[in-house]
Amino acid sequence: MSSLQGYVDRRVILILQDGRVIVGVMVGFDQKSNVVLSESKERVYSMDEGVEEIPLGLYLVKGDMIVLIGELDDAVDQAVDLGTIHAEPIPPIRY
Amino acid sequence: MLIFSVFKTLTDQQVTVELKNDLSITGVLKSVDQFLNIRLDNIKVLDEARHPHMMAVKNCFIRGSVVRYVQLPSEHVDTQLLEDATRRESLAAVKR
């Protein structure tokens, strides 16, 4: 089983099917890769402005919606000034 | 089930996964499960300039359902064996 166990209590980045990006601390998961995040924030990317972070709090994300879960390297992540980053939003999933 | 086995033999190899949102990620295949969820280590996003979202990410879990293609290292895939195995499997399916 390619389990999510290694990500518990870590800061993770979630990419969702609609292209949204959410960062937070993974506090739990289950068989269907449903995931609970604490202290979560959505990162909104755009070309015109720097990255905007919207606090979401405790979030449960349905496994169906998840594209990718990445472990954040805190040192690297904190070193980046999000306000200076301009990027296209991640495209939504197309079947 | 066959493809699951193929992926299992490819652990610790470098692969490139193309997702259905047109993101391509290269990394070392660490593990795979029955849903073909994939764990990659030491990842790199192709066209990093366009996709800085994953700058601070070193390893990731990709949901099997959003994978479009996986590029495999051909030298580590025994195509003859795979061909035989697929034929055997489809033959067994017909008999059943």
Is A70–B57 a contact, with Cβ atoms under 8 angstroms apart? Answer: yes
Question: For A33-43, what is the mean pLDDT?
Answer: 96
Q: Which of A18-22, A55-59, B32-36, B46-50 has the lowest mean pLDDT?
A: B46-50
Best residue of A11, A15, A23 to probe chain B, by most B CBs closer than 10 Å: A15
Give the closest residue to B69 by CA, choosing from B9, B5, B3: B3
Is A80–B23 a contact, with Cβ atoms under 8 angstroms apart? Answer: no
CA distances from B71 to B30, B43, B89 (A): 15, 14, 23
Q: Is A48 exposed, middle or buried (0-12, 13-18, 19+ CB in 10 A)?
A: exposed
- Encode pLDDT of B34-84 as tens digits: 999 999 999 999 988 889 999 999 999 999 999 999 999 999 999 999 999
What's the confidence (pLDDT) of residue B96? 74
A2 Cβ under 8 Å from any chain B Cβ: yes
DSSP B92: H
Residue A14, strand partner residues? A22, A69
What's the confidence (pLDDT) of residue A1? 53
Q: Is A31 exposed, middle or buried (0-12, 13-18, 19+ CB in 10 A)?
A: exposed
Is A33–B52 a contact, with Cβ atoms under 8 angstroms apart? Answer: no
Q: Count of CB atoms within 10 A of residue B94's CB? A: 6
Q: Count of CB atoms within 10 A of residue B63's CB? A: 21
What's the confidence (pLDDT) of residue B25? 97
- Mean pLDDT, chain A, rounded, equals 93
What's the confidence (pLDDT) of residue B1? 85
Rounded to two decimals, the ipTM of the complex is 0.91
What's the confidence (pLDDT) of residue A2? 62
Q: Tell me the nearest-neighbour CA distance from B47 into chain A, angstroms.
A: 12
Is B21–A7 a contact, with Cβ atoms under 8 angstroms apart? Answer: no
CATH topology of domain A5-84: SH3 type barrels. (2.30.30)
Domain-wise residue ranges, chain A:
5-84
> Per the structure block, which two tokens stand in for B46?
């192709």
